[in-house]
Structure 1
Amino acid sequence: MMELPVLDRATIQAIIDDQLPDEVVNQLVWQALGYRYDAVSGRWDSSQVAAEWRDRYPEPPNFIESRPATVQLTRSIPPENKQLLKEVLGFTGYKIGELKPRLTRRATAANWLLSYLKQHPN
């Protein structure tokens, strides 16, 4: 695991602007979900992960490549937080020519992370 940037609005904007590698986006979500990598054992520790995630994904999923994992991520955003990308960052969506699964999944991860920040201030 690499050192991650601070989880703040600037980092989330960088996700939307495709300025962070997909690996970093995944790791930010994994960290927020509670997944921890144990370098000694070479295994993932999911003991801090909520049961609905741990049961389905004992190891952290690749949210950028996995539609089912991204759908679960979307469903886990509380309804009042579904529009945070628009409300907080002014993000109006990608243009028609930019619509690609990879970018829309990054936007889902970014919105989920904004929701996480709202629910877990400092």
Structure 2
Amino acid sequence: MVTMLPTHVKDLWPISRALLMQILEDRCSDRFVCERIWERLGYVEADGTWSAGPETPLDWKEAFPEGPQLIAERPASVRLTRSIPKQHKQLLKQQLQFQGYRIGELYPRRTRRATAVNWLLAWLAQLEMPLAEQGPMAPECPVPMDPVAGHPGDLPVA
């Protein structure tokens, strides 16, 4: 049985294996990562501000009337982690063969990016949508020299 797609799905940035790897490899801004999730949670953008919209789940709307900083803020990251259904918790390993970061690469920013990618994979799985191999990519950023600080413009991680 195919799940009904939310009405705003046709307007979303396409998710592909290449894009998810770009996120995992820390080659795009934290803001870009958040925007891909916000739009899938029904947040709408107006004049650079993302606010809960009519399709935003009530629990997200109440906790975060504006798009939450999923990478920078722990409460938002925790909520995102908890919102991944149990049967989809291993999609990073199953679909991307991602084995995690090495000990020297373990920073909250990167682990939260991995959570974001897993959430995006779970979102696709729940809607029974395939993961495309290629698609539009984020504006490319070099891997940050300081992975704790991230890219220019990324918010500090709390």
Q: Which has the higher contact order (CA 8 A, sep 6+)?
A: 2
Q: Which runs of 4+ in 1 moved over 4 A?
A: none
Q: CA RMSD in A?
A: 1.9
The 1:59/1:10 distance shift into structure 2, 3 A limit, reads: same
Shift of 1:38: 2.4
Query: Which residue is equivalent to 2:37?
Result: 29
Q: Note the residue ranges of structure 2 that are not aligned, 5 or more in a row.
A: 1-11, 131-158
Identity %: 45
Q: TM (normalized to structure 1)?
A: 0.89
3-state SS in 2 of match to 1:55: helix
Shift of 1:28: 0.3
Query: Which residue is equivalent to 1:114?
Result: 121
Query: Which residue is equivalent to 2:65?
Result: 58
Q: TM (normalized to structure 2)?
A: 0.69
Query: Which residue is equivalent to 2:8?
Result: none
Instruction: Give deviations 1:2-44, integer Å, cap 9, x for gaps.
Output: xx852122211111111121111010010111101123xx672
State which structure, 1 or 2, has the greater radius of gyration over its C-alpha atoms. 2
The residue type equivalent to 1:33 in the other structure is L
Where in structure 2 are the equivalents of 1:90-101 lying within 5 Å? 90-101=97-108
Shift of 1:45: 4.4
Query: Which residue is equivalent to 1:8?
Result: 16
The residue type equivalent to 1:6 in the other structure is P
The 1:8/1:97 distance shift into structure 2, 3 A limit, reads: same
The count of aligned residue pairs is 118
Query: Which residue is equivalent to 1:46?
Result: 53
The residue type equivalent to 1:97 in the other structure is G
The residue type equivalent to 2:25 in the other structure is D
Q: Is the Cα contact below 8 Å between 1:5 and 1:11 reproduced in 2?
A: no
